[in-house]
C-alpha cells in the first residue's frame, strides 16, 4: 500500500481526534475544529449507528498508525515485535514507535511534524552516534546520540531551526544541546511520559481477536 499523500486534515476528521499531523500548526489552524464531521458525502449525516467492538478496535489501530505515519504492513510487523518482548504489549508497541528515528527528530523539535522529520532523515541530514543514518524506521536505544550532520548545519533550515529550539521544550526522556544541534536518548519512555490521542490497549485487542 502506498503512503498517503492527500490532505492530512482529512485523516483527523476521519478519526474524530487531533492527530497533530501538522505539528504546531494543528494548535492554531485545525480543520477539525471548523468541520467536525467525517470526510465524504455522508460525513455530515445525522445517522448514528452503534459501532461494534471490532470497529472501535480498528479505529484505534488506525489512529496509532496514522499518528506515527507507519504503513499497514510495517505496523503489523512492529506489533508482532512488541508482542514477542517481555512486558505489556501495548507499552512495548508505543516504546518501539517512539524510539523510531523520525519520531525522535520530531520530539527533539528538529522538525515540525513526523512527516517532515521522515523527509529530513531520508535526505541524510542526521547521524546516530556519529554515523550517517537515513532510515526513518531506525530504532534508537538509550544513550544514542542524534546529531545534525556538519554539512547540514549550514543550511538555512537548520539555522532557523536553531533559533526556534530555544522556545521549545523536549520530553524528560530526551536531552537537547541547542548549540550543537545534538539530542540524546536519556531513557526509554513509559506510558506516563506520553500524551497521545488513543488507547493502545485496543490495538492489542484488535490483533488478538
pLDDT tens-digit series, residues 79-126: 999 999 999 999 999 999 999 999 999 999 999 999 999 999 999 999
Contact 92, 114 (CB under 8 A): no
Q: Where in the sequence is the domain holding 35, given as residue range(s)?
A: 8-40+50-97+201-207
Domain count, the chain: 2
Q: Average the pLDDT over 28-40 and give the result.
A: 57
| Grid coordinates of 33 | 475544529
Cα–Cα distance measured from residue 78 to residue 66, given in angstroms and rounded to the nearest whole number = 14
86, 134: one domain: no
Q: Higher pLDDT residue, 46 or 18?
A: 18
- In this structure, the answer to whether residues 152 and 140 fall within a common structural domain is yes
pLDDT in tens, 139-195: 999 999 999 999 999 999 999 999 999 888 899 999 999 999 999 999 999 999 998
Please report which helix (H) or strand (E) contains residue 120, including its range. Answer: helix 114-122
Q: pTM higher than 0.85 for the full model?
A: no
CATH for 106 = 3.10.290.10
Other C-beta atoms lying within 10 Å of the C-beta of residue 11 = 18
Does the pLDDT value for residue 57 go beyond 80? yes
Do 162 and 81 share a structural domain?
no
For the four alpha carbons of 17, 19, 21 and 25, in that order, the dihedral sign comes to positive
> What sections of 155-199 are H helices per DSSP?
156-165
If asked whether residues 16 and 83 sit together in one domain, one would say yes
Amino acid at each position: 500500500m502506498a503512503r498517503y499523500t492527500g490532505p492530512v486534515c482529512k485523516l483527523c476528521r476521519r478519526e474524530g481526534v487531533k492527530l497533530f499531523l501538522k505539528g504546531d500548526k494543528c494548535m492554531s489552524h485545525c480543520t477539525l475544529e471548523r468541520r467536525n464531521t467525517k470526510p465524504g458525502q455522508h460525513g455530515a449525516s445525522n445517522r448514528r449507528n452503534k459501532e461494534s467492538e471490532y470497529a472501535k478496535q480498528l479505529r484505534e489501530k488506525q489512529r496509532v498508525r496514522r499518528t506515527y505515519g507507519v504503513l499497514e504492513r510495517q505496523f503489523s510487523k512492529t506489533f508482532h515485535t512488541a508482542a514477542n518482548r517481555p512486558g505489556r504489549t501495548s507499552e512495548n508497541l508505543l516504546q518501539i514507535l517512539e524510539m523510531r528515528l523520525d519520531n525522535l527528530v520530531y520530539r527533539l523539535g528538529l522538525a515540525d511534524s513526523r512527516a517532515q522529520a521522515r523527509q529530513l532523515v531520508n535526505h541524510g541530514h542526521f547521524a546516530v552516534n556519529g554515523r550517517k543514518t537515513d532510515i526513518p524506521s531506525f530504532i534508537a536505544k538509550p544513550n544514542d546520540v542524534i546529531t545534525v550532520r556538519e554539512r547540514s548545519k549550514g543550511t538555512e533550515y537548520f539555522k532557523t531551526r536553531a533559533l526556534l529550539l530555544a522556545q521549545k521544550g523536549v520530553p524528560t526522556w530526551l536531552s537537547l544541546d541547542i548549540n550543537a544541534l545534538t539530542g540524546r536518548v536519556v531513557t526509554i519512555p513509559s506510558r506516563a511520559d506520553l500524551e497521545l490521542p488513543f488507547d493502545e490497549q485496543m490495538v492489542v485487542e484488535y490483533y488478538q481477536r
